[in-house]
Structure 1
Amino acid sequence: MAVINPWAALAHGGAGLAELREAVVGEAVRTVRYVALRGEGWPEGHREDRAHEVDVAVELGMESGSALVLSWAMDGVNEGMAIELRNPGDTSASLPGDPVDVSDHVDWEGFLGVSIAGIGIAWHIPNDGCPEMPWAYNFRFANESNVVIALGEADGAGFTYMPDALLVIFDKALAAAYKIPASATSSCG
């Protein structure tokens, strides 16, 4: 199991992120699960049209049997995205919620079975005195499509930063338009 701790990723291109890229690029996504709050399903009132709101975590199951898990993480005023690559056979860390298989959702249809070609990262400084943390990951696929997983929630037709919620954005224009004050880039990285 490889845990990429956002609190240790203090600079762009840290060794942990390089290892993550090396392990994931070339892998194809086989399944997708969202972790919802206990007792709630998904979508259960969450946005689900070209951008999905997710309460706790997103798990991308790879064809190799490994799984990439992205979740929000907070430690005092430090806010960022935790990312963990689980090897085949690893037991899953307990996340506070219930996993919901969304692999058959129409928005994931064009991504399943397609290799990940690259990963971009959007960084932010969440509060004064905090180190730079990842707040969004942009997964580029071999078919030239993108999925962005970022901190935030739906706000009308757009999005707003929220450190304890996730967005999965399937539309490139929506992802490019999503910017937060603490970051120099959009959620595309």
Structure 2
Amino acid sequence: MKNSANQPNNAFHTSLGVLRSVVGQSVTSVYYKCSNDAPMDLGWNEGAMIHEVDQAVVISTASQTIVLEWRIIDGHEFLDIVGVPNEAATAGIADAHDVASLPPWQFLMTSEIAGFGIAMQPSGDGVESLWALRIDFVGQASVVVALGELRGGVPDYQPDNLLVIFDPDTASFYQVLDASESSWGRDLHL
């Protein structure tokens, strides 16, 4: 693997500290960032088990906010994890939709984050990049944020959009062609 500072695997390794910082903390808010031309709710209010988001998912705890978004560096597309202190989060979510009260997020609000799972994908030059992140909550509930979009109600890999998948079976089924693991991924040991 290449070790350039601009490679997505290095961006992911930088994000490990952000993920570590939210384990054991309760979720206090969730926002979806969408472009102005996106439909208002993309079916979120229907209690769907998959939400489509065209820009970013913003999840906050009492002390940390993590932003999950599509990113491209040197031709490599990946799911990026950016952490910001909560006092800086307001600027980052100014154009976002509050989805904390929508099912199934409403059932995860105030739940503690227990850990994470990751799904990586290879590229042509041997660089691995994150394409899906599973967030596990105390009490066995999980949600997966993965690159992709819905086509005919079915997850399809389109790396410039995000899918928020609440159904474990769907997350276990959804897979990138070249990846060896589904969006459910493998446990990340922090």
TM-score bracket, normalised by the shorter chain, equals 0.7 to 0.9
- Say which structure is richer in helix: 2
Q: Which one of 170, 176, 187 corresponds to residue 174 of structure 1?
A: 170
Work out the CA distance in 2 between the residues paired with 1:47 and 1:26.
Answer: 29
Matched, 1:112 2:90: no
Paired residue type of 2:137: F
1:13-64 Cα distance to aligned partner (Å, 9 max, x none): x3x24323321111111111000112545314679610000000000011x1
Q: 2:56: which partner in 1?
A: 57
Larger mean CA deviation between 139-148 and 84-93 belongs to: 84-93
Which one-letter code corresponds to 1:81 in the other structure? Answer: L
3-state SS of 2:68 partner = strand
Which residue number in structure 1 is paired with residue 156 of structure 2?
Answer: 160
Deviation for aligned residue 1:9: 2.2
Report if aligned partners of 2:66, 2:83 keep a CA contact under 8 Å in 1.
yes
Shift of 1:93: 6.5
The residue matched to 2:36 in structure 1 has which SS?
coil
Post-superposition offset of 1:94 = 5.7
TM-score in terms of structure 2 length: 0.84
Pair 91,155 (structure 1): closer, same or farther in 2 beyond 3 Å: closer
Shift of 1:128: 1.2
Question: Cα offset for 1:80?
Answer: 0.1
Aligned partner of 1:21 in structure 2 is: 19
Structure 1, unmatched stretches of 5+, are none
CA shift, 1:91, in A, is: 5.3
Deviates more, 1:41-50 or 1:152-161: 41-50
Distance 1:156 1:40 in 2: 17
**How far has the Cα of 1:75 moved from its partner?**
2.6
- For residues 75-124 of structure 1, give each alpha carbon's deviation from its aligned partner in whole angstroms, at most 9, with x where no partner exists: 342010111111121256768x9311111101102110000100111000
Partner SS, residue 109 of structure 1: helix
Return the alpha-carbon distance in structure 2 between the equivalents of residues 102 and 111 of structure 1: 11
User: Deviation digits for residues 161-180 of structure 1, max 9, x if unmatched?
Assistant: 01100000000001001011
In 2, Cα distance between equivalents of 1:102 and 1:91: 16
Alignment partners' CA distance in 1, 2:84 and 2:67: 8
Alignment partners' CA distance in 2, 1:156 and 1:116:
32
* Alignment check: 8 A CA contact 1:54 1:166 kept: yes
* Residue type at the aligned position of 1:185: E
Q: 122, 132, 144: which one pairs with 2:119?
A: 122
State the identity as a percent.
31
For 1:9, give the aligned amino acid: N
Aligned mates of 2:87, 2:117 — CA distance in 1: 27
